[in-house]
Structure 1
Amino acid sequence: MKDLKFAVVDIETTGNGIKGNRITEICVIILNNGEVEEKFTSLVNPSQSIPLYIESLTGINDDMVSSAPAFSEIADEVLKITRDCIFVAHNVNFDYNILRAEFAAIGMEFKRKRICTVRLTKKLIPGLFSYSLGNICTSINIPLYDRHRAEGDCEATVILLKRCLSLDENGEVIDEYLKRKSGADYLPPNFKNSDFDKLPTATGVYFFKDKDGVPLYIGKAKNIKTRIKSHFQEKSNRKYELMQQTHSIDFELTGSEFLALLREAELILKFYPKYNKAQKKVSRPYTLTSYHNQKGIEVFALHKNKIAPVSWMKFYTREEAIKFMEELCIKFELCPKYCGLQAQVNACDHYKIMECSGVCEEKISVEEYNSRVAKAHEFIGHYDDSCLLLEKGRTKGERSFIYLNKGKYAGYGYIGPMDEMNHPEEFTNYLIPAKTSSYADRIVNRYINSKKNLSRIPLTQTNEVPHEEETELWFS
């Protein structure tokens, strides 16, 4: 370890998280060949008021920093003293990111290799009750004076670093943490590097958990490992707080991104994780209904009333509803005027539907038009039939399925290449039931409306073997 030079850093701040946080005091101690080579300490004028709770914690107040130099006045000194050094701090990402932000604010770049003494101590001195600087110092008898002042905390961190270096005689742990490709630079202080290496690059949902295993945040990703690393690199205050409380990360593979979306929605509603933004309340859906006007023509209409005499379908955005009605209009040669697509017109003149049925201009009889509407009713009636939506599985040869019970998400499952399936109705042997919700309804709705070629198998109420093409779809 003789070739390594360390800049041990501690900063005190105005306490506004990562963004908007300003330095009030900084101490840098250079450790070279195990000996203190240089020290730099200074109060810093943050150009903003110091909150009372921070003053109570650190003892630093507005009067103390009013005549102190601004960071721009000491930036060159900090840059110079830390050059060619490994940046070391207790919970290093906090100090490092705030310092980088101060440099960036004055148009300067600050980039150093870094090591966290929290993670280093966890690796080399396992089993401590707590890894806060104060508790570590108490546990292993390191003197700590002027707690929550930059120089006092920095001097204690120097002693802690020396202890760790003495326990890492061959430098293997330090070398591991200095490898940028390992992702250790970005890991939360309580999270093991080996656990990060085990994360999959496949599709599924993931869970940030606290020390008791309670989910703090749940997300979905096509590539779990890459997505989680991006969380580590985000600099928002909220994400920083999440990282500080994360002790482990769990995951569940789904194979299908669609299924991952459904599982994410279901699990968020089950656990209500602290750091998930509350799922926005889904607005009241648009209901597709119909009625007969004074001419006896059956008219389709979209509305948001809670109660409708006839309710055919529900849509969670007007765009989805309009798109469906346009397709219905074209498929069954209906009149845009009587399908909620045009209003206050005598005859249809729709920008997309060039050929109207003609009922608006009495070119066909009301009876003939209503017979077309009846066919549309039949189509809509089967639109939300129970079915299985087939998706990618988690492994080669496996298929995942999403079970829709009368159009509503009701569960999912996986069928492997060796599983015996004679017809789709046997899917219940592999079904994992799930609770539906307005969020799940919306996800299913959008998915179905956005997919041109759905792998969809209708389910019957009998045990009849499905058509040959359906069987091939299931086992392909």
Structure 2
Amino acid sequence: MKDVKFAITDIETTGSGIKGNKITEICVIVVQNGEVIDEYSSLVNPSQSIPLYIESLTGINDEMVSSAPAFSEIANEVEEITKDCIFVAHNVNFDYNIIRAEFASLERNFKRKRLCTVRLTKKLIPGLFSYSLGNICSSINIPHLDRHRAKGDCEATVTLFQRCLSLDPEFDVIKTLLNQKTAASYLPPNFKSSDFEKLPVSTGVYFFKDKDGRPIYIGKAKNIKSRIKSHFQERSNRKYKMMQETYSIDYELTGNELLALLRESELILKYYPKFNKAQKKVSRPYTLTSYHNQKGIERFALHKNKIAPVSWMKFYTREDAIKFLEYLCIEFQLCPKYCGLQTGVDVCDHYKITNCSGVCDDEISIDEYNERVSNAIDHISTYEDSCLLLEQGRHKNEKSFIYLKKGRYSGYGYIESSEELNHPGEFKNFLIPQKTSSYADRILNRYLNTKKNIVKIPLATKEKEFAKTEEEIWFG
């Protein structure tokens, strides 16, 4: 690789993200055999205002770039000087993706092999406190003049790259970095590729952590490694900023998606990570209530913003509420009109429900219809009973359980198949108690109303032995 050319590049831009970010200055210095052989630099007119905070950082203002060429005018020069070169930059994905975006806006393709001096320095000069360009230069005595200007930063990066070349004379480390075909090429600059390879392909929750070990993002996935790789490959400004602040990734296996959803919800509410948008705003649920109308017919209704004197059940999407009401109508031969599924009609004519008992057309008595509503309400109350929901564990010889106390999420646990439980109360020996929340209610509500073949073990309010059938369910 001794004759390979490296185009060390630095740009200044209108912002700190990737999307919508325009170049205000560019410098490219070509190095071959450790020596500088070519150089190009220019201010660039971004055709938009430079924010004040960027101006204060770089010193580049609107007046300075007003007479500078647009990127379209210098694209040929950038194309030519980087041609047949390996594209090198400090935190290379930032510079490379913005330059690619500038070319794409001109309907031109820009594709180069790329090399990151952050990763290169970490391999060749390990143990530094920080790998920002300024801190590296201070640590190993590299002159760094005119900071936050393209030429000043580019010249410092050239000197750093030459230092790295002297430490890697056979290009062993450089070849390794260039030949990475996995997510490692997209890794955050402060994250170790060896740590990525250790990530599991199992279901659970994962934590992006900052340099102090604090979670800055929490997510859930059926395949943790694959999902994290997709984060690395996203190009949004928000994800880019998150990657810059990520120093480590932790995870917790759950064995199944239900527990992953519940744990994600709990942990977001516990740590309130800065890059999580979801679950920071409490959504008011739909409340299922009932009342007697002027005819004395008991009818169901949904309320979202009203305080109902009677509350039978809560839903967190209208779709879930409608599906459940349709289920009640079919199961107990109720009237869609009096379940709030149809309005403005004298006699119900629902597209899906055809087994209405006929109370809307005086075919049965009000007392008989109200008895059916009462049976439906009794059925609803079973959702509020204490029970265990059984799901897959973290390995084949384990099962997990989710504990609902009076219908509310109260914890979870894992049990080996070989463990013997002679009494239902003994599950508490394995229980990890948790606080409920509106998010947990929403997750479980959707699970109970949409999941088929739920393994659900009722827990009586009084002490009693497991029935044989319950033992068979538990132990499979």
The normalised TM-score by structure 1 is 0.94
**Aligned CA distance change for structure 1 residues 50 and 377 (closer, same or farther; 3 Å):** closer
Q: Which runs of 5+ in 1 are unaligned?
A: none
Q: 2:25 matched to 1:40?
A: no
Aligned partners of 2:205 and 2:253 also within 8 Å: yes
Does 1:445 pair with 2:445?
yes
For residue 256 of structure 2, what is the aligned residue in structure 1? Answer: 256
Superposed, 1:116-155 pairs within 5 Å as: 116-155=116-155
Alpha-carbon distance, 1:194 to partner:
0.9
Cα distance, 1:65–1:293 mapped onto 2, change above 3 Å:
closer
Q: For residue 223 of structure 1, what is the aligned residue in structure 2?
A: 223
What CA distance in whole angstroms lies between the structure 2 residues aligned with 1:353 and 1:57? 66
Tell me if the contact between 2:315 and 2:445 (Cα under 8 Å) persists in the aligned partners: yes
Contact preservation (8 Å) 1:290, 1:298: yes
Give the drift of 1:281: 3.1
Between the aligned partners of 1:411 and 1:362, the Cα distance in structure 2 is: 48
C-alpha contact (below 8 Å) 1:424/1:474 kept by paired residues? no
Aligned-partner Cα distance in 1 for 2:412–2:5 = 55
Q: Which residue of 2 aligns with 1:235?
A: 235
- Please tell me whether the aligned partners of residues 182 and 197 of structure 1 are also in contact (alpha carbons under 8 angstroms): no
Residue matched to 1:393: 393
Cα separation, 1, equivalents of 2:321 and 2:431: 31
Range 421-430 or range 79-88, more displaced: 421-430
Aligned-residue sequence identity (percent) comes to: 74
**Secondary structure in structure 2 of the residue aligned to 1:460:** coil
Cα distance in 1, alignment partners of residues 253 and 448 from structure 2? 22
Asked whether the equivalents of residues 10 and 95 of structure 1 are also in contact (C-alpha less than 8 Å), the reply is yes
SS across alignment from 1:180? coil
Give the structure 2 partner of residue 296 of structure 1.
296
- Please give the alpha-carbon distance, in whole angstroms, between the structure 2 residues aligned to 1:403 and 1:465: 18
Q: Which amino acid aligns with 2:31?
A: L
> Is structure 2 residue 62 aligned with structure 1 residue 62?
yes
Q: Secondary structure at the match of 1:102?
A: helix
Report runs of 4+ in structure 1 exceeding 6 Å deviation: none
Aligned residues: 476
* Partner residue in 2 for 1:323: 323
Mapped contact 1:88–1:115 kept (Cα < 8 A): yes
Match of 2:27 in 1: 27
2:158 aligns with 158
CA RMSD of aligned residues (A): 2.0
State the SS of the aligned residue for 2:181.
helix
Rate the CA distance shift 1:418–1:6 in 2: closer, same or farther, 3 A: farther
Q: Which residue of 1 aligns with 2:266?
A: 266
Q: Which string of whole-angstrom CA distances, capped at 9 and with x for unpartnered residues, describes residues 69-94 of structure 1?
A: 22122212222222222211111111
8 Å Cα contact 1:388/1:458 also seen in 2:
yes
Say if 2:183 and 2:232, in contact at 8 Å, map to a contact too.
Answer: no
Q: TM-score, normalised by structure 2?
A: 0.94
Structure 1 residue 127 displacement after superposition: 2.2
Aligned match of 1:206: 206
Q: CA offsets, 1:238-288, max 9 Å, x none?
A: 111111111111111111111111111111111111111152534332222
SS in 2 for 1:26: strand
Matches within 5 A, 1:186-205: 186-205=186-205
C-alpha displacement of 1:3? 5.0
Is the contact made by 1:114 and 1:185 (CA closer than 8 Å) also made in structure 2? Answer: no
Counterpart residue identity of residue 198, structure 1: K
Give the Cα–Cα distance (whole angstroms) in 2 for the partners of residues 362 and 64 of structure 1.
Answer: 83
1:335 aligns to 2:320 (yes or no): no
Greater mean alpha carbon deviation, residues 419-428 or residues 381-390: 419-428
Query: Structure 1: how far apart are the matches of 2:66 and 2:370?
Result: 82
> What SS is found at the alignment partner of 1:181?
coil
Q: CA deviation at 1:347?
A: 2.6
Q: Secondary structure at the match of 1:452?
A: coil
Stretches of structure 2 lacking an aligned partner (at least 5 in a row): none
- Shift in alpha-carbon separation, 1:338–1:56, aligned structure 2, 3 A: closer
> 2: CA distance between counterparts of 1:424 and 1:169?
68
Offset of residue 16 of structure 1: 4.9
Equivalent AA in structure 2 for residue 218 of structure 1: I
CA contact (8 A) 1:27 1:151 kept: yes
How far residue 47 of structure 1 moved from its aligned partner, in angstroms, is 1.6
Decide whether the 8 Å contact of 2:25 with 2:42 is kept in 1. Answer: yes
Asked whether the 8 Å contact 1:27–1:39 carries over to 2, the reply is: yes
- Which region of structure 1 is more displaced relative to structure 2, 224-233 or 57-66? 57-66
CA distance in 2, matches of 1:349, 1:122: 71
Give the Cα separation in 2 of the matches to 1:56 and 1:318. Answer: 49
**Equivalence for 1:362:** 362
Is 1:73 the counterpart of 2:57 in the alignment?
no
